[in-house]
């Protein structure tokens, strides 16, 4: 019996392989920028969610202590007299407070306490709370009913002279700002 060899059972040609490879490369080139954008948006959403947790803790602190803290510090107790619970500290209201490192150069989180309509700068009746985003937005983004352009905060004295307003003066782009 004689074996016959057939050329009809062959694999892919080099041209077919190159065409498939080119299509895969084009698809990857289309998908990669979208993945980077999605990663930035996800990171920004996490930063904003963390900031909202801190804002909730600040509101709880105000309910108990009567005003907002002059700085974000886990050991920061209630200020002044006639407070509801003098032994409360900010760390008990904000979970994992140490990870935020407000107003430090290696942290995106910013806090600027304000004394609205008060001659007593030791009473913090408002604040700007912000986070530097990774590029999901352009410019300062204010939220809430009482929010205003951060340059307007210059008309109100700060509660604590040692804290800074960096990030809320309009010079730092991509800052998500919660003002109370």
Tens digits of per-residue pLDDT, 14-55?
999 999 999 999 999 999 888 888 888 888 888 888 988 999
Evaluate whether 166 touches 92 at the Cβ level (below 8 Å): no
**Residue 107 has what pLDDT?**
83
- Claim: this prediction has a pTM higher than 0.75: no
- The pLDDT score that the predictor gives to residue 154 is 46
Distance from chain centroid for Cα 157? 25
Task: Decide if 131 contacts 50 (C-beta within 8 A).
Answer: yes
Q: Which residues of the chain have pLDDT under 50?
A: 81-82, 138-140, 142-154, 162-163
CA distance 111 to 92: 18
Helices (H), the chain: 14-65
Exposed/middle/buried for residue 9 (C-beta within 10 Å: 0-12, 13-18, 19+): exposed
Side by side, the strands of the sheet bearing 175-179 are 109-114, 126-132, 175-179, 141-143
* Helix/strand/coil percent split, the chain, to 5: 35, 15, 50
CA dist., res. 7 & res. 99, Å (int): 68
């Amino acid at each position: 019996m004689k074996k016959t060899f057939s050329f009809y059972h062959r694999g892919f040609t080099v041209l077919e392989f190159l065409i498939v490879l080119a299509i895969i490369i084009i698809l990857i080139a289309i998908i990669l920028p979208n993945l980077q954008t999605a990663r930035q948006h996800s990171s920004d959403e996490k930063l904003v969610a963390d900031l909202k947790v801190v804002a909730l803790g600040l509101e709880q602190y105000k309910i108990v202590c009567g005003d907002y803290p002059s700085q974000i510090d886990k050991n920061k107790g209630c200020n002044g007299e006639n407070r509801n619970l003098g032994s409360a500290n900010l760390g008990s209201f904000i979970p994992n407070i140490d990870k935020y490192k407000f107003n430090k150069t290696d942290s995106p989180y910013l806090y600027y306490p304000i004394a609205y309509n008060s001659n007593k700068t030791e009473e913090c009746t408002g604040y700007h709370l912000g986070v530097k985003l990774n590029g999901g937005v352009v410019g300062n983004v204010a939220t809430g009913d009482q929010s205003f352009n951060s340059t307007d905060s210059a008309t109100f004295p700060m509660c604590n002279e040692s804290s800074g307003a960096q990030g809320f003066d309009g010079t730092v782009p991509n800052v998500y700002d919660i003002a109370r």
